[in-house]
Structure 1
Amino acid sequence: MAATTENLPRLKSAVDGLTEMSENERSGFINLVSRYLRFLYSLSINLLLLVMIKQMVFMFITNDVDVSETKNLLDKLVVLKLNGGLGTTMGCTGPKSVIEVRDGLTFLDLIVIQIENLNNKYGCKVPLVLMNSFNTHDDTQKVLIFYCGSHFLLLPYFLLSKYPRVVADEFVPWPSKGKTDKDGWYPPGHGDVFPSLMNSGKLDAFLSQGKEYVFVANSDNLGAIVDLTILKHLIQNKNEYCMEVTPKTLADVKGGTLISYEGKVQLLEIAQVPDEHVNEFKSIEKFKIFNTNNLWVNLKAIKKLVEADALKMEIIPNPKEVDGVKVLQLETAAGAAIRFFDNAIGVNVPRSRFLPVKATSDLLLVQSDLYTLVDGFVTRNSARTNPSNPSIELGPEFKKVSNFLSWFKSIPSIVELDSLKVSGDVSFGSSVVLKGKVTVTAKSGIKLEIPTGLWSRTRTSMVPRTSE
């Protein structure tokens, strides 16, 4: 059955019978589906022609913050970490935020340490709040007991909405067809952060405490730390919304970019681009920056827009196949909300503020001597002269974080590494130093161990070197 607006009454009736959903979730889901169905009919006239769009000009923030005003600035801030994702890319079934990333500390450990040090240093009260999904909530709650003695023992959180997956062929909620376990549901993307923050009561609570801005970032982005110069600029210039962008590399060509379109700052995602313009969108010459998903948003503006039901972000259809059934998830992205806020800006920030860990290759980077860890902050080693990080490709043997470290007696030194490509049954001894371009391939059925020494060859059959 094709998806049409005629399906909506039947879908709504089925959703009304799903007792697992709150009234806010029912309303939000039906609103999302209604907009999606209307969009299908207007798609032909809404496609963006990139040849008609000019890349907007970004502002660099360079002003300093006086130490004496730091406490006053920080007392206006809330830090919100998006904690709804699972570490499935790295073979995990639980929250990504509880994966160990450095010195036995998890993402969540590092975030808590950062905020605690900030509050202790300046005598301020920056609250940390988590946005969990139904997939991550229970497991996240279990680890909070380990923060005994911390003032984050009762770490505040709220839940992302829980929406039913739609059976594509029939356009009905899958749970109404009997799929009542977790696989029948999905969290509708981090664009739901704004209504969920409001519906949870947390937004009004923060406003009553005198908070003005929320810094929203992914929990797996180790570079997403509080920046006082950005916060000061937003307060001084009354910017309701700020998106951090950073220079695009060939690894980021699919990332969303900011554009100036019809007099508004807007986020353009690759899913919105016509096929004939995709290569143009991916160009790092024409579209030089991409969205880091580090967002700064005014709390009063969020309240005003949510109450007016004005945050109608572009819908991202996400078709999937689960247990042999083709289903549809309709999602939104928080970055797409930028066009609804007054005086919204994009800030071009250093690449150091975008350090996500999406795969074990990223984990190798942050666990190596390329970075140091101080007070919860992961900082790049100044001995690295190349402004770019090494390119690392690890074979499927290294994919799962659960046995990732078993391939290393110690993490190799990579400060002077340009690229590393490893495939096959390869393990690394202790005190291995990798320099230049290194490729290691173990043939099928052969175990290869890289012993102590300096390795800097481009060939697969490498010989250790003890000096340059």
Structure 2
Amino acid sequence: MSGRSGGLEKARAKMLDAGVDPVAIETFAHYYRLLEHGETGMIPESTIAPVDMESLADVEVDADVAADAIGKTVAIKLNGGLGTSMGMERAKSLLCVRRGLSFLDIIARQALHLRQKYDARLPLLLMNSFRTSADTLHALGRYEDLPVDGLPLEFLQNKEPKLLTSDLTPVSWPKDPDLEWCPPGHGDVYTALRGAGLIATMIEQGYRYVFVSNSDNLGAVPDPRLAGWFAASGAPFAIEAVRRTPSDRKGGHFAQRKADGRIVLRETAQTLPEDLEALADLDRHRFTSTNNLWFDLHAMKAMLDDREGILGLPLIRNVKPVDPTDPASPEVVQIETAMGAAIEIFDGARLIEVGRDRFIPVKTTNDLLVLRSDVYEIGADFALTQVATDIPYVDLDSGYYRTIHEFDQRFPDGEPLLSQSTALRVRGDWTFGRGVRVLGEVELEGRGPQRVPAGEVLGSPSADQGADD
């Protein structure tokens, strides 16, 4: 037996010992073999063409069709993230957004409001990881009406071993054995749903459509108009797309594969170095994924049954140190898949362009500052409305604002008002007083601790840059 095949057997044994679902183990084995044979998951620019699509703004959806479709929809939130990039060690969705409400509070209230308005069951399920489950269920305990009969509030994401790049054997890290494991990317949602028996259960209970989105994107409300559009389209699978902006240059995009005309989602990790310029070309590749997707339960069940539970999403080979905080720790491969990549699996899959208000992801404290500011309002329906003309570009000094603890220390009396701002760049250690207003484009620089006094107005509407401090 070669060392590499031995690596797969060791990985299988480790997953069996940990009680990982058998289909998840077979799915992992499928990708391991691809990796072993040198598969990189790369999508060369020469094999794809730009793609166009219809816009939700131009679509007419019958109100009765919309109401009927949302009544047959289940909403799933991906909630496995710990917010480690912001120095957190628990579910990122527990972060306070505003008025004492966390992401989870707002998600729960959005769902409860829609149920009441449309007299719909609209179950909310969370895909948690083994690290986020307990905290999340505790936080949602106060919403007694949230669980729906016959369906759980959560199902668990699978886990898999990280593999040494040198020989593809499972890494051993006694200092912190938890770091020997990783999630298989959000493409695992289909494997995890099937493994938990939930696809069959949802069909038995009369549900037809599933809406999946990230818990850190409060714009991703299970919208009846979109549910109606999806139902009327008859498509097996669809993704909401938005036009890319300069902040999306490094992110994934949609394209059409020349070989068979299928829509593909190309992530940065699947782009060759020589194609990075084309990836960043916003005129060529104009649309990015919101990670808000819709699928037909019957179509998904048939496809998974046909493939014995292995959907066969494109591989993403992610190379990292085993301990993300220690660049000198051994280099490992994490085998990942993206749930949106399922678009290329289904014949007749669709894309639809939606407004940027459905894509408000929070990946960094820069994003959190915008979300907590007056750029958005939260309505009685708990949906976010963008009240500012533009979303300001925020770039906070990572030496002082990267973690949520550092961030909160520097905005002790609330975030500045950004609704009339186009850009805020902060270099150095600045603490903001209450009610600071930022106008136009502002850059703060300074050595040593600095303070912006309460009520201060920085910049001016027509200013290109500069600030009064």
Give TM-score scaled by structure 1 length. Answer: 0.90
Q: Does the 8 A contact of 1:82 with 1:219 survive in 2?
A: yes
What's 2:385 paired with?
379
What's 2:326 paired with?
none
Q: Does the 8 A contact of 1:84 with 1:95 survive in 2?
A: yes
What's 1:452 paired with?
455
1:111 is displaced (CA, Å) by 0.7
Q: 1:304 to 1:155 in 2, by over 3 A?
A: closer
1:335 is displaced (CA, Å) by 1.0
Partners of 2:48 and 2:351 in 1: CA distance: 17
What's 1:414 paired with?
418
Identify the match of residue 274 of structure 1 among 272, 275, 282: 272
Q: Which moved more, 1:416-425 or 1:186-195?
A: 416-425
- Pairs within 5 Å for 1:50-61: 50-51=45-46, 53-61=48-56
Partners of 1:119 and 1:283 in 2: CA distance: 41
Q: Does the 8 A contact of 1:12 with 1:30 survive in 2?
A: no
What's 1:430 paired with?
434
Q: Which moved more, 1:202-211 or 1:46-55?
A: 46-55
SS in 1 for 2:284: coil
1:391 aligns with 2:386: no
Deviations 1:171-201 (A, max 9, x none): 21225x8678211111100011111111101
SS in 2 for 1:146: coil
Identify the match of residue 146 of structure 1 among 142, 148, 161: 142
SS in 1 for 2:17: coil
Q: 1:69 to 1:101 in 2, by over 3 A?
A: same
What's 1:357 paired with?
362
Partners of 2:269 and 2:445 in 1: CA distance: 36
- Pairs within 5 Å for 1:36-435: 36-40=35-39, 48-51=43-46, 53-61=48-56, 62-148=58-144, 150-151=146-147, 156-174=153-171, 181-261=177-257, 262=259, 263-309=261-307, 311-323=311-323, 324-374=329-379, 375-381=381-387, 384-385=388-389, 388-395=390-397, 396-408=399-411, 409-435=413-439
Partners of 1:20 and 1:346 in 2: CA distance: 38
Partners of 1:197 and 1:347 in 2: CA distance: 25
Partners of 1:198 and 1:317 in 2: CA distance: 24
Q: List runs of 5+ in structure 1 lacking aligned partners.
A: none
The number of aligned residues is 451
Q: Does the 8 A contact of 1:134 with 1:187 survive in 2?
A: no
SS in 1 for 2:334: strand
Q: 1:180 to 1:364 in 2, by over 3 A?
A: closer
Deviations 1:127-161 (A, max 9, x none): 10011112222322332323245556985211111
Q: Does the 8 A contact of 1:87 with 1:95 survive in 2?
A: yes
Partners of 1:442 and 1:192 in 2: CA distance: 46
Deviations 1:383-424 (A, max 9, x none): x33xx3111111132222235333232322211111111122
Q: Does the 8 A contact of 2:121 with 2:148 survive in 1?
A: no
Q: Does the 8 A contact of 2:24 with 2:192 survive in 1?
A: no
Letter in 1 for 2:50: Q
Q: Does the 8 A contact of 2:96 with 2:102 survive in 1?
A: yes
Letter in 2 for 1:139: D
Partners of 2:306 and 2:69 in 1: CA distance: 29
1:5 is displaced (CA, Å) by 7.6
Deviations 1:357-384 (A, max 9, x none): 1111211111111111112211111xx3
Q: Does the 8 A contact of 1:21 with 1:162 survive in 2?
A: no
SS in 1 for 2:360: coil
Q: Does the 8 A contact of 2:66 with 2:227 survive in 1?
A: no
Partners of 1:235 and 1:336 in 2: CA distance: 21
Q: Does the 8 A contact of 1:315 with 1:332 survive in 2?
A: yes
Deviations 1:82-127 (A, max 9, x none): 0111111211110111111121111111111001000011111001
Q: Does the 8 A contact of 1:264 with 1:339 survive in 2?
A: yes
Deviations 1:402-453 (A, max 9, x none): 3533323232221111111112221122222110111112213x43333423
Partners of 2:333 and 2:378 in 1: CA distance: 42
Partners of 1:30 and 1:179 in 2: CA distance: 27
Q: 1:460 to 1:335 in 2, by over 3 A?
A: closer
Partners of 1:452 and 1:272 in 2: CA distance: 47
Partners of 2:467 and 2:265 in 1: CA distance: 46
Q: Which moved more, 1:185-194 or 1:415-424?
A: 415-424
RMSD: 2.4
Partners of 1:350 and 1:5 in 2: CA distance: 52
Letter in 1 for 2:33: S
Partners of 1:279 and 1:264 in 2: CA distance: 23
Partners of 1:377 and 1:272 in 2: CA distance: 34
Q: Percent identity?
A: 32
Letter in 2 for 1:159: L
1:59 is displaced (CA, Å) by 1.3
Q: List runs of 5+ in structure 2 lacking aligned partners.
A: 324-328
1:25 is displaced (CA, Å) by 3.0
Partners of 2:167 and 2:86 in 1: CA distance: 33
SS in 1 for 2:127: strand
